[in-house]
Amino acid sequence: MASAEEIYEKVQDTLMDALGVDDDEVTPEATLVGDLGAESIDFLDIVFRLEKNFDVKIPKGELFPENLASADSNFAVDGVVTPEGIDELRKQMPHLDVDKFAEDPKVENIQDMFTVQMIVNFISTKLAA
């Protein structure tokens, strides 16, 4: 069982490889999109690398939420995530910091929940399972 520090360092290496960023940029609070410049396609690359580096399987939509804002769900209305949507996020994605997001639950703010710490949380839970 890897220690928290080992997990953090490996996540850091993963993001340095996937996003071409330096180690001092990859802080726990850094957001993948805003701070580290990730684009949607990088998420798939990150998932591939995490699977390889930690020897885990990460099914589609497990690490990064999907279809939350799609038209046929009632999880988002007029660009804002509904209370049902927030409940769903808490249920499905315990590795996300939903409390902070809930203060201003605009769809465009969803990506601010994707932090380095979020990935560390996810991997820690996954390895403990």
Partner 1 sequence: MRWFWIDRFVEFDSGSQAKAVKNVSLSEEHMHDHFPGFPVMPASLMLEGMAQTGGILLGEKNNFDHVVILAKVPKLTFHSWAEPGDTLTYEATLMDSRDEGGSTQVVAKVGERLVAEAEIVFVHLDHNDPELGAVDQKNFVFSTGLLSTMDVGAAGDGSK
Smallest separation (angstroms) from partner 1 to the CB of 41: 5
Q: How many CA atoms lie within 13 A of 118 on its CB side?
A: 23
Task: Identify the sign of the CA torsion 111, 116, 119, 120.
Answer: negative
Considering only residues 8 through 67, tell me which ones interact with partner 1, judged by CB under 8 A.
Answer: 17-18, 20, 41-42, 44-45, 48, 51-52, 60
Shortest Cβ distance from residue 80 to partner 1 (Å)? 26
C-alpha 121/C-alpha 84 separation (Å) is 23
The site for partner 1 (CB under 8 A) is made up of 17-18, 20, 41-42, 44-45, 48, 51-52, 60
